[in-house]
Structure 1
Amino acid sequence: MTFSLVARCASTGMLGVAVCSSSPAVAARCAYARAGIGAVLTQNFTDPSLGERGLELMSLGASATQAIEILARTASDPAYRQLAAIGPLGAPATHTGGLCLQATASAIGIDCAAVGNWLAAGDIAQRMVEAFTASQGHLAHRLLIAMRAGLEAGGEIEAVHSAGLKVMHEQPWPIADLRIDWTEACPITELEGLWALWEPRMPLYLARALQPAAAPAEDLA
């Protein structure tokens, strides 16, 4: 009951993930990323441990393809799991088990991969990849463009209620980790609004973490 995307910015090295679902708090369970290492999605009958395991494999030198192959071979009940991964270099990779929820899809681009289940249309993952590839700007902005494309292509069979995105760049913490854990409105629209609020403040919060003596005490008006 989820559609999602892992992606990287080829020019900055940022890595990120975005996800949307009819279930609550989807990003808390499904989205994983580490700066300089990769981004991993684990969904469908979600096993959150696979996100951290995928990142650990890539930190030890596995490519995204190798990490997904290992997870698909060694995970408990792999037929129920849907996964995606991307590293700083190389091809992204996906896995969709044979017992996943109906209406699954996956698509791989040069710098992104999309996966989904319980989808309202068969081309949603491909539309997300195309939208991301055609987009420009900050990685978080591009992730949101891709998610919007997936929603407008049909999204889930059921109404969506939660969404989130995570972007990593150079630091061990996310520069953006934004979530809509539940809403009766459109979670992607609310996430877009949250990004618009966060983006201009992001340099300030980074400066406070790295150079607090030089950072202003005031937030933006």
Structure 2
Amino acid sequence: MIKKFLSFAAFCLIVQGISGQVFKRDAPFAHTYSIVARDQKTGKMAVAVQSHWFSVGTVVSWGEAGVGVVATQSFVNKSFGIRGLALLKEGKTPEQALEILLHNDEAKAVRQVAILDSKGRVATHTGSSCIKYAGHIQGDNFSVQANMMLSDKVWPAMAKAFKEHSDLPIAERILETMKAAEKEGGDIRGKQSAAILVVRGESTGEPWEDRLIDLRVDDHTSPIEELSRLLKVYRAYEHMNKGDLAVEKNNMQLASREYKSAEAMFPDNLEMKYWHAITLANNNKLEEAAKMLKGIFQKDKNWRKLTKRLPESGILNLSKKDLKMLLDL
């Protein structure tokens, strides 16, 4: 199916006078809209994308902490992601990096690329033969770009939305930007997948700590809505992690607040409640723990079985009497 699409696309371009030999038969065909952006307050950088194409996030969005983010789309050259970041690391500006990437690219007329660096500088290219409606808008610390859109109102609506939601964290801000694109019709083919990537403005030297948010919806009837749901789950687990850190510092008041914040966001999530209860039990708040665990055990007996196993791993530290009391709930 993919090869058929690509063969047809290459044929159309041959008719326009562009050599069909520049397109690989297995090259991604990611017509889409996207945004690259930087949060001026935190320095965090983000790239987000939505398309009527399977798993668009594995193709379009690239980023590295302390370096920048790249969106490469339309008739995609995936190497632009890694090569673009490498050029930024060498000290090139986004404009210089983009010029180098496109210099010997025989298919630049059908490429669309946006590059943003850790200083918030941007460079964007929309090839003259990108399928209309196609275009981009650059602004302070951001660029929005789109091709094969239902109308030419899509990317202006994105730029407007990004500017209007400056009070939001960068991830939520760019999600609002993508919602604005959908309100104007978005991709003329519809919607299928979406992704969001957020990296630190400065590298910690520990790459596993520098990719802050990396969420993808590979195939869904409402990918933006599903991405929003996943981001909310991510935020809830942020509270859980903060609660765990508070426990390590023996700040049980803060830990309880963080756990309750997480549970309020997802009241039906038994695991969040469970680990909150285990933390309470470990801190001699057995009455509160028992009340929570009783409800959890009633809904799923496997949590009772897990509780019985925790002492062996040192995760639950109770006397045999207190453990039996909890297990008998």
* Normalised TM-score (structure 1): 0.89
Q: Secondary structure at the match of 2:59?
A: helix
In the alignment, structure 1 residue 116 sits paired with structure 2 residue 146: yes
- Alignment-mate amino acid for residue 202 of structure 1: E
Asked if structure 2 preserves the Cα contact closer than 8 Å seen for 1:107 and 1:113, the reply is yes
- Alignment-mate amino acid for residue 112 of structure 2: Q
| Deviation (angstroms), 1:197 | 0.6
Alignment-derived partner of residue 175 in structure 1: 212
Q: Secondary structure at the match of 1:156?
A: coil
Larger Rg: 2
Moved over 6 A (4+): none
Render the CA deviation track for 1:51-107: whole Å, top value 9, x for unaligned: 111111111111122212221213352222110011122531110112222211101
| Deviation (angstroms), 1:14 | 0.1
Distance (whole Å) between structure 2 residues aligned to residue 191 and residue 49 of structure 1 = 26
Asked if structure 1 preserves the Cα contact closer than 8 Å seen for 2:151 and 2:185, the reply is yes
Equivalenced residue count is 216
Distance (whole Å) between structure 2 residues aligned to residue 23 and residue 98 of structure 1 = 22
Asked if structure 2 preserves the Cα contact closer than 8 Å seen for 1:92 and 1:112, the reply is yes
In the alignment, structure 1 residue 186 sits paired with structure 2 residue 216: no
Q: Secondary structure at the match of 1:201?
A: helix
Render the CA deviation track for 1:168-202: whole Å, top value 9, x for unaligned: 0145241110010001x210011001101112323
Q: How does 1:130-141 map to 2 (within 5 A)?
A: 130-135=160-165, 136-141=167-172
Distance (whole Å) between structure 1 residues aligned to residue 164 and residue 86 of structure 2 = 31
- Alignment-mate amino acid for residue 193 of structure 1: R
Alignment-derived partner of residue 195 in structure 1: 231
Alignment-derived partner of residue 68 in structure 1: 98
Q: What's the RMSD between the two structures over aligned residues? A: 2.3
- Alignment-mate amino acid for residue 177 of structure 1: D
Q: Secondary structure at the match of 1:17?
A: strand
Asked if structure 1 preserves the Cα contact closer than 8 Å seen for 2:38 and 2:118, the reply is yes
Task: Select the structure with the greater relative contact order (CA < 8 A; seq sep ≥ 6).
Answer: 1
- Gapped regions of structure 1 (runs ≥ 5): none
Deviates more, 1:62-71 or 1:36-45: 62-71
Distance (whole Å) between structure 2 residues aligned to residue 23 and residue 54 of structure 1 = 23
Asked if structure 1 preserves the Cα contact closer than 8 Å seen for 2:63 and 2:197, the reply is yes
- Gapped regions of structure 2 (runs ≥ 5): 1-30, 250-254, 260-270, 274-329
Q: Secondary structure at the match of 1:132?
A: helix
**Structure whose residues are more often helix by fraction:** 2
- Alignment-mate amino acid for residue 147 of structure 1: M
Render the CA deviation track for 1:154-179: whole Å, top value 9, x for unaligned: 20111110000000014524111001
Asked if structure 2 preserves the Cα contact closer than 8 Å seen for 1:111 and 1:133, the reply is no
State the identity as a percent: 31
**Against the structure 1 CA distance between its residues 112 and 206, is the aligned structure 2 distance closer, same or farther, given a 3 Å change threshold?**
farther
Q: How does 1:133-152 map to 2 (within 5 A)?
A: 133-135=163-165, 136-152=167-183
In the alignment, structure 1 residue 154 sits paired with structure 2 residue 185: yes
